[in-house]
Amino acid sequence: MLDILYQDDALIAVNKPANLAVHRSKMVGNAEEFLIDLLREQIGDNVYLAHRLDRATSGVLLVARSKEVAALLGEQFMGRTVHKQYLVVVRGWPEPAEGVIDYALPGSRETGPRREARTRYRQLDSIEVPIELGRYPQQRYALLLAEPESGRFRQIRKHLAHIHHPVIGDCQHGRGDHNRLYKQHFGCHRMLLHAWRVSFAHPLSGASMTLEAPLDAAYAELLDRFGWTVKAKSEE
């Protein structure tokens, strides 16, 4: 059963689980289940994607209940009026602790043309764990709030890898040794990228909306283990 964060006659917001493909595509390989099919079965009606999240990413996903609403939401995403905030755990401590990554990216094909892309980030917390890896006796990790200003393919993952602070659990752009460390020492088997909040205008009423997706057990337990906390919108 999918966790529905919000629904009305126009749209539904789902807290997408990690490692669940959103829809069928060549990018998802041997996936057997797809969120869009599960949601249709759960609500007993057709639904239409307004945007997408990577298979390994969790968090807020907006789904329209008609093609017209999907188009209206799509216009907001294309017009960059949707504000997205992600929680992400990375290797190392970024310097500076707050900044903008401005680095052009290709589409799904690495050989394709590059287009401008910007991601804001801010370090929320950090830790140094006494685990030897490579030539370092201790390992540093940070919890970031990432806010993409554009919507390129795997933008946050590629941008953080570009500044040498890859996302933990990212098999394509991350560090295999640190990914294995998290599995072996912390029992964490997911990519630590979560679409935490999405703010947008309701496609029909125009009302301002902010939707927030709670972390799953694996992500929440890791934050608790590190003594990291994040405030829900209702606590701010």
pLDDT tens, 33-44?
899 999 999 999
Tell me which residue of 216, 202, 209, 217 sits closest to 233, measured CA to CA.
209
What per-residue confidence (pLDDT) applies to 61? Answer: 98
Length of the chain (residues)? 236
**Sequence letter at residue 46:** N
Taking the C-alpha atoms of residue 156 and residue 158, their distance in angstroms, rounded to an integer, is 6
Tell me the two tokens of residue 233: 């919108």
Which residue is it, tokens 């685990």? 131
The kind and range of the H/E element at 39 are helix 35-43
Answer for the pair 50, 74: CB distance below 8 angstroms, yes or no.
yes
Tell me, what's the pLDDT at 231?
A: 78
From the centroid of its chain, how far is CA 31?
19
Q: Average pLDDT in the 123-137 region?
A: 96
Pick the CATH number of 3-228 from 3.60.21.10, 3.30.2350.10, 3.40.50.300, 3.30.420.40: 3.30.2350.10
26 pLDDT higher than 60: no
Buried b vs exposed e over 63-102: b needs ≥16 C-beta within 10 Å? Answer: bbbeeebbebbbebbeeeebebbbbbbbbbebeeeeeebe
Q: pLDDT of 136-185, one tens digit each?
A: 999 999 999 999 999 899 999 999 999 999 999 999 999 999 999 999 99
Given its phi and psi angles, is residue 97 left (phi above 0), alpha (psi -120 to 50 degrees) or beta? alpha
Please list the active-site residues: 54
pLDDT of residue 18: 97
Percent of the chain with pLDDT over 90: 88
Q: What are the structure tokens assigned to 57, written together?
A: 């990413």
Tokens encoding 123 = 């370090």
Rounded average pLDDT over 103-122: 90
pLDDT at residue 109 tops 90: no
For the chain, the average pLDDT equals 94
Q: How far apart are CA 172 and CA 233, in angstroms?
A: 32
pLDDT (average), residues 197-203? 98
